[in-house]
Structure 1
Amino acid sequence: MARSKQDTPINSHKPTALLTRRSVFSTALGATCLAVASSAKAAKNDEIVDPPSVVTSPPREWGPKAGPSYLPDPDVIAIDPSFRDLTYFAAPIRRVWDKGGWLEGPAWSSEGRFLLISDVIQSRILRYTWETGEITDFRPDGYAVNGNCFDFDGRLVGCEDFFRRVVRWEHDGSTKVLADSFEGKGLNSPNDIVPHPDGSLWFTDPGYGTNITEGHADEPGGPTNPDGTIRWKIGRELTGEIGGTKRQQDHVFRIAPDGTLKAVLFEKDLLDPNGLCFSTDYKKLYIASTAKGPGQKIGGDQAIHVYDVNDGSLSNGRIFADMKVGNIQLHPDGLRADVFGNLWCGASGPLGMCGVLVFNPSGKLIGRIRLPQGCSNLTFGGPKRDHLFMCAAGSLFVLQLGVQGFAPS
């Protein structure tokens, strides 16, 4: 999913006095401005400044050595009072792991009580075990898998950036390629995928994996390797026409239960489609349009769009949320819905603004979860599905909520 160059820390002095809990909540945005001003002053005076992990005042620590957290967590911000009904006042945001490269595609297995996450850059699929909190290898080489989901039969489905295809792991342990080309042309890099109860699978196909870091560049002459300088085949075995070798236009696809692949949106309809999520009645599909990907001259509008779903097709596209907080444009990524139809969206942007934005079904921003890094993707999990798992750069964060996630993830 999309990477934002704006996910950069802002240096700040540590405060000399503790703020009250009420003032922390009421001055959340002001703290960002104060941090910038303090950094500028420190830089001018040639002082050495250690950046806090977020703009929380006092700066918070993360990980197992972190001290007690303030409660309610000052980085769980209610913009509308209704958001408080979705959170749990005594639950702090916890960072449970921080040794990844770029984490994506969290998918919760209710049967196995574990979470799968993709480390796209390190090309691994990892497993977080609920009972122990351990992170172990699930697949040591996942071929740069990005998005994952479990279908309604409990089978794991993944979007392989390196081979530019969608695959499914069957109950007998075999692997089936569900999609690797469309109208005789290879795919770009399938990004995020969601199941429908009719047995279909819907996925986005932007070009974020058409580079060295997350997948492989195009063959010579393709948009991401126009002069052939990049040695596009090295790094893993790539033989024959497996998936795409040249970046094509963006699409949103539907794989029918019989395996038929259909484009439900084309590049002219939506640029850089990324995270996607069904509404609780499956009558709407939300899709994030993200920033310019590799080999493109222009990118998406960085808004969340919503479409009506009718017999396997999409219609009546419109903007659901522009992803602006004040005058600051944030960058949407992964999406998930809770049982009440609220939409939880991973967001990248400046420190103090990035993390998770939460919208009610009408598209009103009602809450924020502030993280020290942009959130690429997220999902609900835990035995009660009341924990929000958030992938942010190389770290995995979790927050217990007062609401449950909807549908397989």
Structure 2
Amino acid sequence: MDFKTPLARRGFLATALGGAACAAIPARAASDAVATPPSVISQPPRQWGAAAGPAYFPDPDVIALDPSFSGLTYFAAPIRRIYDKGDWVEGPAWSSEGRYLVFSDVVQSKALRYIWETGEVTQFRPDSYAANGNCFDFQGRLITCEGFFRRVVRFEHDGSVTTLADKFEGKGLNSPNDVVPHPDGSVWFTDPGYGTNISEGHADEPGGPTNPDGRIRWKIGRELIGDIGGVRRQQDHVFRLAPDGTLKAVLLEKDVTCPNGLAFSPDFKKLYIASTPAGPGQKKGGDQAIHVFDVQGDSLTNGRIFADMRFHGAQMNPDGFRADVFGNLWCGVTGPLGLCGVFVFSPQGVLLGRIRLPQGCSNLTFAGPKRDHLVMCAGSALYMLQVGVQGAASS
């Protein structure tokens, strides 16, 4: 680019925000006879729900950066908002047996369910205890990360609840965040400190990093049933829970600081982990990159940067992600409006395309009977997009 030559507003946005940005700006000149579709970056902004009007095909906020991205999308599918009554939605997980999507509203402490046939969102549990990540294991059982009790639990087929992990080496966990199953029966999860505050769990006991002077009344706000779990923020970890219940730290804070989202490759030979900004009571955060490790049995080796998440001069923040059947990584990202949403990377780390959303995307999953609908958690809302590929999933 010749920086000495002034750029028109349309030209600047097309350069800064990606190939479809120019078409997303509403026409101003009387001679411009072709209507331009609304976008999350246009003025007036794109509308959702009943006010959205007719859909434009292809959707202007589904942007190909590599020709191969067209094979992963469906040209006649618009991004749709399917829920908008949350505070901070997270942890989407699809049940193929029940044909519903479970997701969490962390701040409202709700476990919710989107029913595929009707599009209704109903209460799944009366109190989720500030749950965040969810997944279904290879037996169809729901596994949930509970921020308030700082533990990982499993809901059995008979309706009972099993606590899978709440302590490591005699100390309570921080706030399990995201969780994925492995076909060998193990469960892998991240344990940063994002739930060690009032909004997303509970603060530490007096003297802990998130309650150093003891002014926060850390025990109030939920009906406590048994042990509250962790009471003081510990080091960040990534854990593997073996089928026999053995909990092993496969990564320490020095390996990946503030570990957040995680996902296996379809062949389970690689594990991707997002490193995110500093959590409560923590002075230094992560590098905001996606890391990848080789899976060797119950250990991780050969750690390296998969994507540094720098895009158009901005440091984007990766959060939750999932792989499709071809090994492409669909990653929820937060950052500036016009850049935030979903980034899609090839197995080699090439950015193939992106999906713009009006809010940063905290997590996502593939849903639907064919597993070809991408459901994205973004702030207070759920968005859905039919794609041209299927997600790699356990259930």
State the one-letter code of the partner of 1:113.
R
Superposed structure 1 runs of 4+ greater than 6 Å apart: 22-25, 30-34
Change in 2 beyond 3 A, CA 1:66/1:184: same
Residue identity in the other structure for 2:78: P
Q: For residue 116 of structure 1, what is the amino acid of its counterpart?
A: V
1:29 pairs with 2:17: yes
Distance 1:292 1:76 in 2: 30
- Of 98, 104, 110, 1:112 maps to 98
**After superposition, what is the alpha-carbon deviation per residue over 1:93-139, rounded to whole angstroms, capped at 9, x for unaligned?**
00011000100000000111100010000001100000110000000
- Find out whether 1:374 has 2:354 as its counterpart: no
CA RMSD of aligned residues (A): 2.1
Change (3 A) 1:221 1:340: same
* Counterpart code for 1:363: G
TM-score by length of 2: 0.91
The answer to whether the Cα contact below 8 Å between 2:175 and 2:196 also exists between their aligned partners in 1 is: yes
Show the 5 A alignment for 1:38-49.
Answer: none
2:193 to 197, 207, 211: 207
Contact map agreement 2:20 2:61 (CA 8 A) in 1: no
Instruction: For residue 50 of structure 2, give the secondary structure of its aligned residue in structure 1.
Output: coil
Letter of the structure 2 residue corresponding to residue 334 of structure 1: G
Q: Is the contact made by 1:127 and 1:135 (CA closer than 8 Å) also made in structure 2?
A: yes
Structure 1 pair 385–23 and aligned structure 2 pair: CA distance change class (3 A):
farther
Shift of 1:238: 3.3
Give 1:311 deviation, angstroms.
Answer: 1.1
Give the aligned residue type for 1:238.
L
Asked if structure 1 preserves the Cα contact closer than 8 Å seen for 2:131 and 2:145, the reply is yes
1:6-30 deviation line (CA, Å, top 9, x unaligned): xxxxxxxxxxxxxxxx999956728
Per-residue CA deviation, residues 270-297 of structure 1 (Å, 9 max, x unaligned), is 1000000001110100000000000001
Indicate which of 135, 158, 173 corresponds to 1:149. 135
* 2:18 and 2:65 in contact (8 A); partners too: no
Structure 1: distance between partners of 2:62 and 2:11:
14
Give the structure 2 partner of residue 259 of structure 1.
245
1:54 and 2:56 matched: no
Unaligned runs of 5+ residues in structure 2 are: 1-9, 26-37
Structure 1 residues without counterparts, runs of 5 or longer: 1-21, 39-51
Range moving further from structure 2, 317-326 or 186-195: 317-326
- Aligned-pair distance for 1:373? 0.1
Identical counterparts, % of pairs:
75
Which of 371, 384, 395 aligns to 2:381? It is: 395
2:85 to 86, 99, 106: 99
What is the aligned partner in structure 2 of residue 125 from structure 1?
111
Letter in 1 for 2:17: L
C-alpha contact (below 8 Å) 1:125/1:145 kept by paired residues: yes
Match for 1:70: what amino acid?
A: Y
On the 8 A contact 1:375/1:393 being kept in 2, the answer is yes
Query: Residues of 1 paired with 2:67 and 2:348: CA distance?
Result: 15
**Superposition deviation, residue 63 in structure 1:** 1.4
Rounded Cα–Cα distance in structure 2 between residues aligned with 1:311 and 1:382: 31
Distance 1:33 1:130, change over 3 A: closer
| Post-superposition offset of 1:60 | 1.5
* Farther off after superposition, 337-346 or 25-34: 25-34
**Corresponding position of 2:217:** 231
Match of 1:346, SS?
strand
- TM-score (normalizing by structure 1): 0.88
Contact residue 163 and residue 242 of structure 1 kept, 8 A = yes
Name the structure 2 match of 1:170.
Answer: 156
Give the letter for the 1:399 counterpart. L
